[in-house]
Amino acid sequence: MSKLNETHDPSLSSWVTSANDGQSDFPIQNLPFASFRRAGSDESFRGGVAIGDQILDLKAAADSGVFSSQAQAELETAAKEKLNDFMAMGKDSWSRLRAALSSALRSGSAMEATLKSCLVAQADAEYGMPCVVGDYTDFYASIHHATNIGALFRPDNPLLPNYKWIPIGYHGRSSSIDVSGQTFPRPVGQTKAPDAAEPSVGPCKRMDFELEMGIFIGNGNELGETISIDNAEDHIFGMCLFNDWSARDIQAWEYQPLGPFLAKNFASTISPWIVTTEALAPYRASYSHPADDPQPLPYLESAENNAEGGVDVELDVLIQTEKMRAAGEEAVSLATSNFKYSYWTMAQMVAHHTVNGCNMQPGDLLGTGTLSGPSAEEACAMIELTTAGKNPVTLPNGEQRAFLEDGDCIVIRGFCQRNGVRIGFGEAAGTILPAKV
């Protein structure tokens, strides 16, 4: 796992003054990566790093010639349209570039005069996918979510026998993943009402969100090789926010025996910024299963994972309806949670994913599954919040929601905070449009 170094020093400040206010998601201790260009331009997308309300254009920074030869190769690679090649360079290269950028952006840096011309305001930018996602696996890592969902269908036995032994996951669809700002039509599919003699085809009636986090793989492994839990985080480049949109009525009819299919593959929304695992080092948390639960099998257990396998990330999911937008009203919170509630850690997900020799590749994405917490206010999907639609949520403007309606925008935000430093992820926002029928 990443260790603390000078880039984590809470006393560091930046010559980009907006990074120093204690409210920004992007202080100098963060430095997350994205792919961007100026909005509305025909510029090529290229790599950028967030600092305050600005983006350091890595292509311009690489062309400036002010970085040492030691970091120049990493800088030029990270400046490409997609981050896959930089991800493939591995942990030492990621750390070397992070240290060089931290030094360059600190208050008093001799590079300030040169790099000022390499900044682009985030307000003037648009984002592309940060990398090519070759494969996407979605896990089911919150025991609270699994229990809540299971109780709706199996009140006497909500968890299936394998849940506490295996990090459950399924292979999802990567082509429909897009960055914050994504809009998509309500999915159409086959559903069957409980009292119907046969199924019918039409727009989803039980549209849902799922508050998750995404885990990006950096350097991968060869086919047939495993990644041990002790080395798993050396293969994790960083994390983002993730909304795994779900069509619950389509899912209910199709999921047996092979699990989700059309209910999940129509859209997923990520935040454009990838926060590196190194930036998250000060916010690690201890991890354990309850003493009376089965303990992880040896390939899923290590002293380091027990000591700091968790990450303390505060999460919030908000809604802005079409009526709220028309009235100029801001999004309101539906639920809050924390990544530390996850029953399985990042390292365990990677170790389990590769225990059979599955080959991971740079840019592969793992979804954590819905990160619901133990309390009712931490139920992070509409199906949980409303007890499958039986108890609609009333919003401050009087609108009610059993499930999501056309025009609803769901916004996920997240941050870590300790010692006066806030490490944020930006936001993942997506909007449902009417079905194409």
Domains and CATH numbers, the chain: 6-128 (2.30.30.230), 136-433 (3.90.850.10)
**Mean pLDDT throughout 402-420?**
97
What is the Cα–Cα distance from 299 to 301, expressed in whole angstroms?
6
Rg (CA), the chain: 22
What is the pLDDT at residue 256? Answer: 87
Tens digits of per-residue pLDDT, 255-291?
Answer: 888 888 999 999 999 999 999 999 999 999 999 999 9
Distance between CA atoms of 156 and 282, rounded to whole angstroms? 41
Residues in binding site: 138, 140, 154, 210, 212, 244, 251, 255, 264, 268, 370
Q: What is the mean pLDDT of the chain?
A: 96
- Residue 33 near residue 55, CB atoms below 8 Å: no
Q: Side by side, which strands form the sheet with 182-185? A: 182-185, 421-433, 409-418, 314-320, 332-338
Catalytic residue among 145, 235, 352, 353: 145
pLDDT class for 68, splitting at 50, 70, 90? confident
What is the reported pLDDT for 154?
84
Given this model, what pLDDT does residue 76 score? 97
- pLDDT tens figures, 339-358: 999 999 999 999 999 999 99
Q: Which residues define the annotated binding site for Ca(2+)?
A: 138, 210, 212, 244
Within 13 A of 377's CA, how many CA atoms are on the CB side?
5
CB 306 within 8 A of CB 281: no
Q: Which long-range contacts (CB under 8 A, 24 or more apart) does 255-264 make?
A: 259/170, 260/138, 260/170, 260/172, 262/187, 262/189, 262/190, 263/187, 263/189, 264/138, 264/172, 264/173
pLDDT tens for 286-336 read: 999 999 999 999 999 999 999 999 999 999 999 999 999 999 999 999 999
Mean pLDDT of 20-34: 97
Dihedral sign, Cα of residue 136, residue 141, residue 142, residue 147: positive
Active site residue 289: no
The whole-angstrom separation of Cα 363 and Cα 265 is 18
Helices of type H across 341-433: 346-354, 382-385
Give binding residues for Mg(2+) as ranges. Answer: 244, 264, 268
User: Rounded to a whole number, what is the largest CA-CA distance in the chain?
Assistant: 74
